[in-house]
Chain A
């Protein structure tokens, strides 16, 4: 069965610092997508960034970028110049395109940005 592991239950950094959230996954599929979602206290699950497994280039979205290491099955999220509004739960998820198309979720990392 496919699994997604986020080994950091909670992290906190000072505003403007850079922080990296780790995620590893386990899949035997060759065609899959990886996602980072953010869930602030408002509960709204917001897509942060996505990565297609067939693409070697790391996805970036403004201050958010990923370090996708396919061989190591690692998909970390880097947040540069962190802001107070980045405080949220961050979930890593994978989506198999060849089998059941289900999003498999990690347990989440609680990120706190301190002023």
Chain B
């Protein structure tokens, strides 16, 4: 399909383990975003990538969280030494461009990865 895809769809891990979450944006989209959504709550911004610019990491909650993006393609969100409070759905979104204005600003979301830390 042509939408944003994320893997895995569900992940159960033990406290203290590291996890990697993957996001494949829509082809041609230069902007990519990661959000966290705790149960019954809205979205928390985590990190944003725009082309080859330095990412905006202002939403990362701690240094256990990091993300990488290869060019304008796949992104991985890594959580080290997971804690129970990291349990949430992690959503990825992409847009054509964050800087162009207009329709390009609309973010399209993947189905999310549900992370459960035991």
Binding site for B on A (CB under 8 A): 33, 35, 37, 42-47, 50, 91, 93, 95, 97, 100-103, 105-108
**B45 interface neighbour in A35, A91, A103, A108, Cβ under 8 Å:** A103
A43 → chain B closest CB, angstroms = 5
Chain B residues positioned under 8 Å from A105 (CB to CB) = 42-43
Chain B residues positioned under 8 Å from A106 (CB to CB) = 42
Whether B70 sits at the interface, judged by CB under 8 Å, is no
Binding site for A on B (CB under 8 A): 33, 41-43, 45, 48, 56, 89, 91, 93, 98-99, 101, 105-112, 114
A107 → chain B closest CB, angstroms = 5
A68 → chain B closest CB, angstroms = 17
CA gap between A97 and B105 in the complex, in Å: 9
Which 7 pairs, one residue from A and one from B, show the smallest C-beta to C-beta distance?
A45-B109, A105-B42, A105-B43, A43-B112, A107-B42, A44-B111, A101-B98
Chain B residues positioned under 8 Å from A101 (CB to CB) = 48, 98-99, 105
Chain A residues positioned under 8 Å from B42 (CB to CB) = 91, 105-108
A110 → chain B closest CB, angstroms = 9
**A43 interface neighbour in B93, B101, B108, B111, Cβ under 8 Å:** B111
Interface centre among B43, B99, B108 (most CB of A within 10 A): B43
